Structure 1
Amino acid sequence: MLIYWLGLFMFMFGAVSFVVNRKHLLMMLLSLEFIVVVLYLNLFFYLSLMAYEYFFSMVFLTMTVCEGALGLSILILMVRVHGNDYITSFSFLW
């Protein structure tokens, strides 16, 4: 039962970190990756507790890697075009 509270606490910590660091794209991506790792950890504990197969966890990891690669490519494109990773420098987002 303690591991569920720890997972919930870590998820909430990642969500708060995502909201607080909304100016830098790199910090937002790191917060999102932390949330995804916590979700994977919770999924793994749940599947091991219920004695299910781990196939869905491999699909989840595949989607996580794709999401991380897409985020890093957007970060690289943003740094090449604008010279920094500040979200507030985009005029079309506001």
Structure 2
Amino acid sequence: MLLLMMIIGVLIGSWGLMYKHKHMLIMLLMIEYCVVNLFGVMCLMFSFYSMDLYFMLIFLTFGVCEGALGLGILISMARMFGNDYFMLISILEC
């Protein structure tokens, strides 16, 4: 039952990522929500099958790096454009 709830959490995070794509901060929060839920799913699955847990450490490391890079991009966007609204940013300006 817990595994099903975490998988539903990943789906809800994916849905939020698809429908709240106008603001960078909301997108970053939804991605982190999916990463945390996927980490929970992996914890349950790896402990259930008695598998090696080193992959979870690598996954968590990549999740932290993704969050740090996203936050850096968000800060640079806020400094350059004054907000995190994607629809105002033109590709030609970059």
CA-to-aligned-CA distance 1:42-62 (integer Å, 9 cap, x gap): 001000001112111001111
Partner-residue secondary structure (3-state), 2:52: coil
Q: 2:90 is matched by which residue type in structure 1? A: S
Q: Could you state the TM-score of these two structures normalised by the residue count of structure 2? A: 0.93
1:75: Cα distance to partner?
0.2
Per the alignment, residue 13 of structure 2 pairs with 14
Instruction: List structure 1 segments (4+ residues) > 6 angstroms apart after TM superposition.
Output: none
- Displacement, 1:31? 0.2
Identity over aligned pairs, percent: 38
User: Residue 43 of structure 1 corresponds to which residue in structure 2?
Assistant: 42
| Structure 1 portions without partners, runs of 5+ | none
Give the root-mean-square deviation of aligned CA atoms: 1.1
What letter matches 1:67 in structure 2? Answer: E
5+ residue gaps, structure 2, are none
Letter in 1 for 2:14: A
User: Is the Cα–Cα contact under 8 Å of residues 7 and 38 in structure 2 kept in the other structure?
Assistant: no
Q: Give the alignment's TM-score, normalised by structure 1.
A: 0.93
- Displacement after TM superposition at 1:4 (Å): 2.5
